[in-house]
Chain A
């Protein structure tokens, strides 16, 4: 058989017209996912994209892979069934802040807890788009929407803190329009064995425009974003206004750095993805605008056995120990008796 021609991003585009609103951040995410797919060393037929309900959940229709557009909030559960039954498949969940953290919060929690080997992409635009603009569980306190004319009185949840709380082994935050960073995070997530949880800050131009402009805009992000790099100190800001994050007793604070000053000497923390305790990553997750810069990058990446691998191992062990199941032996096990003519 001839060597297959390498695939390109075009091979991952389905024949369906993409129907998000003009300017939606989802376009960029789709394009970058399609760009990364050919490089992952997985045959196209082994990719499965699974989604729930919401704008982001139309995603599988646009991917020329296997795909399942399921019901509201339950995509992680469907994906768990796919991956647990067929561990050789590369299974990606696409969800949003409403789908994943409101109606589907329970499934997201337990899927992460089990460390099912999935990539979960949570598009966070802090608003319900498909139902036309209600506030979501990540919307800011006080946000005025059709359903909250006097302002939202719910305290929002941070997706990164949620994932860490559930015991996530890989947690990252990236941005819809930052192609190279988004692609880097997607590759890292794919390499990770276990649940890889990615919050993608995504713009909804219709119902919550410019929600993430501070970190999307090249100029503003210098002051507003903290880029996480493993082994590097938590430093951000323009060259003449460098600052760092110090973490003491789990509480982060800002350290101002003079020109040429060594951040480590000033007590600035060094980013480390592989702390066994999630306490450090929690401290990072607590950094919110406007008091702090918003961390972008991989918060945590640790190794733990995945649910699907453990389940497969139980099956293999059972067969090795007891032999392949014999139905006649099962039906005749225990006490039986014979009746003759």
Chain B
């Protein structure tokens, strides 16, 4: 226990930043795990360059990890960090303007010399100006780190690798975080001198906090009051991967995942590939097209098939996705959206693929589209997507984004016994079998898989006759089949829950969001409501079909605002579909919305309303 006084605070946002080789993502992840175990609610925002190792000390190579944790409900990684930990001048320069005025800036003073300042583009020493605006704490982290392990005989290069753990130890002390989970992780990961070095440095950082005069007190962030249960930390990509594995268990069918490596979706492939003992088969294909094609083949053969990708890969998959629509096979396509167009900013955030998911194929090719709204929600979205896919015999697109993919939040671990079970039946009976004879309620055709005697049949991309599925060029039949497939997708709306309005169901302004922007929108709307504004919010999980009550909800408000991390795609859909004057609030900077941005926009609209 520290001998210094403690101060209780509600919450804090910290950003760790340094070179992409400095281990900032690891530092952030470990701090997050410890913070979760301390019982706080939290939200994180990793922000890293696409380059694996950009030249050291340059702005291009700066990697950051922000965590916001509190004893209250945390919905976003916070607009502005209260504390910045900067490992070099480039990291300082790239991040300082984000820090809350008057916030704390901790730097590794050993990394600040003429050369590194120049490399970061500083002509003069920036520290005097920073002292004016922030509480600057200068710590010679490199030397303190070397000092702690000098007797281990590691070279200076190897020694310096552990300096992020010095900072981590210090931050553990400063915010009274438990160190045990990190020690356990180190012991499982490293051996001998490297283990000893990391452990010693972590403890040295902690001890430095206790003894240094730079920090007169430490802070306590009490446990958050959240729903009772067992929790864990989860990122969106892990939740997605586990949702895939869970779907196989809950539906009692084997999973086939075809994928081609692409940022930020690759981690889902990595994670699912670990679970062969669940009967899961993963296939790293030669390209995006083969990945979806093999998945469709596996679906024809009776597997629960899924393919994961991001925007550029989603484009390549569209022809095969059209075939899945035409052959009416169950398939889940996950698009973890990233900043574009083209290759764009592969590690940055965008929601630019909504229209691509809905309308990216030739001709009339409708399919259901779902979007996850938080990291943990990715799990449930996958379960729902598989259920819709097999119930309606249709491909389903799940939209996530690179923010959800890499951010973490505490997640109430579900009890598998309480998750919906949905055993999948194949058609077995040859009597009366027709490949395109539809279920009268869902309009789904039967799933008849190879190996079933008497059900031999052919499917393909050519226009097919109603009921028999035989190739047909009959004009009226073609129109009828297009209508039937559209009607099938539209009927999914019947089973969707009504969209929930946060706030009153009538008022001046409705803010409509979808996907990973939920936290920022909810926070902005809540603050507006707390200030007495007649603002409500809805967040759409179902982008096609829309929830059945959407039109009614939209008509209950004078104005509709649609904040989206794209050029206004959902806004366009709402206007086209419902003829409501939805106003777009687009953002395409590769960064998530700040709560304040949305709040400001709300205030502008409400003011206009008054005028």
Contacts and interface: CB of A to CB of B under 8 A. Distances in A.
B114 interface: no
A43 interface: yes
A50 B294 CA distance: 12
A80 B294 contact: yes
Nearest to A46: B451
B294 A332 contact: no
Contacts of A184: none
Contact of B451 (A45, A79, A109): A45
Contacts of B154: none
On chain A, which size bracket covers the interface? 35 or more
A110 B459 contact: no
B301 A77 contact: no
A336 B413 contact: yes
A5 interface: no
Nearest to B290: A77
A331 B323 contact: no
A78 B297 contact: yes
A46 B450 contact: yes
B272 to A, nearest CB: 11
Interface string B320-364: 100100010000000000000000000000000000000000000
Given A66-B450, A67-B458, A339-B39, A81 B295 contact: yes
A68 interface: yes
Interface stretch (A136-144, A200-208, A287-295, A320-328): A320-328
Nearest to A65: B456
Contacts of A150: none
Report which residue of A44, A77, A337 has the largest number of chain B beta carbons within 10 angstroms of its beta carbon: A77
A9 B32 CA distance: 66
B277 A45 contact: no
A337 B297 contact: no
Given A327-B246, A327-B249, A60 B460 contact: yes
B545 interface: no
B293 A78 contact: yes
B453 interface: yes
Contacts of B300: 48, 66, 68, 78, 81-82
B256 interface: yes
Contacts of A319: 276-277, 279
Interface string A76-120: 011111101110110000000000000000110110000000000
Interface string B257-277: 010000000000000000111
Interface in B300-330: 300-303, 305, 319-320, 323, 327
A64 interface: yes
Interface string B461-504: 11000000011000000000000000000000000000000000
Contacts of A81: 256, 258, 283, 293-301, 305
B281 A325 contact: no
B286 interface: yes
Nearest to A332: B413
A66 B460 CA distance: 11
Contacts of A249: none
A325 B414 contact: no
Nearest to A333: B232
Contact of B301 (A16, A82, A323): A82
Contacts of A45: 450-456
Contact of B277 (A14, A74, A318, A332): A318
B460 A77 contact: no
B320 A74 contact: yes
Contacts of B298: 81-82, 84-85
Nearest to A79: B297
A51 to B, nearest CB: 8
A325 B277 contact: yes
B37 interface: yes
B320 to A, nearest CB: 6
B296 A78 contact: yes
Interface stretch (B8-16, B128-136, B221-229, B523-531): B221-229
Interface string A299-337: 000000000000100110111011111011011101111
A70 B293 contact: yes
B190 interface: no
Given A84-B294, A337-B231, A328 B289 contact: no
B553 interface: no
B47 interface: no
A89 B303 CA distance: 14
A327 B293 contact: no
Contacts of A107: 286, 289-290, 293
Given A67-B458, A84-B256, A74 B290 contact: yes
Nearest to A85: B298
Nearest to B289: A74
A13 to B, nearest CB: 12
B245 A74 contact: no
Nearest to B246: A327
B242 interface: yes
A181 interface: no
B278 interface: yes
B254 interface: yes
A86 B451 contact: yes
A310 to B, nearest CB: 11
Nearest to B329: A68
Contacts of A318: 276-277
A40 interface: no
Contacts of A3: none
Nearest to B307: A81
Report which residue of A67, A81, A323, A336 has the largest number of chain B beta carbons within 10 angstroms of its beta carbon: A81
A84 B291 CA distance: 13
Nearest to A328: B416
B604 interface: no
A251 interface: no
Given A68-B460, A69-B460, A84-B256, A77 B289 contact: yes
Contacts of B320: 70-71, 74
B609 to A, nearest CB: 42
A80 B289 CA distance: 13
Contact of B231 (A44, A68, A77, A336): A336
B37 A335 contact: yes
B276 to A, nearest CB: 4
B596 to A, nearest CB: 30
A86 B278 contact: no
Contacts of B36: 335, 337
B66 interface: no
Contacts of A78: 293-294, 296-297, 300
A43 B450 contact: no
Report which residue of A49, A61, A82, A85 has the largest number of chain B beta carbons within 10 angstroms of its beta carbon: A85
Nearest to A319: B277
B404 to A, nearest CB: 19
A340 interface: yes
Given A50-B297, A84-B283, A332-B413, A322 B277 contact: yes
A25 to B, nearest CB: 22
Nearest to B297: A81
A301 to B, nearest CB: 25
A106 B287 contact: yes
A341 interface: yes
Kindly list the 8 A-B residue pairs having the minimum CB-CB distance in the complex, ordered from nearest: A69-B460, A81-B297, A325-B278, A81-B294, A318-B276, A77-B293, A67-B458, A77-B290
Given A68-B460, A325-B249, 10 more contacts: A43-B453, A70-B461, A71-B323, A71-B461, A80-B290, A85-B297, A85-B303, A323-B277, A336-B231, A337-B36
Interface of A: 14, 16, 43-50, 53, 60-61, 63-71, 74, 77-82, 84-86, 88-89, 106-107, 109-110, 311, 314-315, 317-319, 321-325, 327-328, 330-332, 334-341
24 contacts: A43-B453, A44-B456, A46-B450, A48-B301, A48-B450, A49-B458, A60-B458, A67-B458, A68-B297, A70-B461, A71-B320, A74-B289, A80-B294, A110-B286, A311-B283, A314-B276, A327-B249, A327-B250, A330-B242, A331-B413, A337-B230, A339-B230, A339-B231, A341-B228
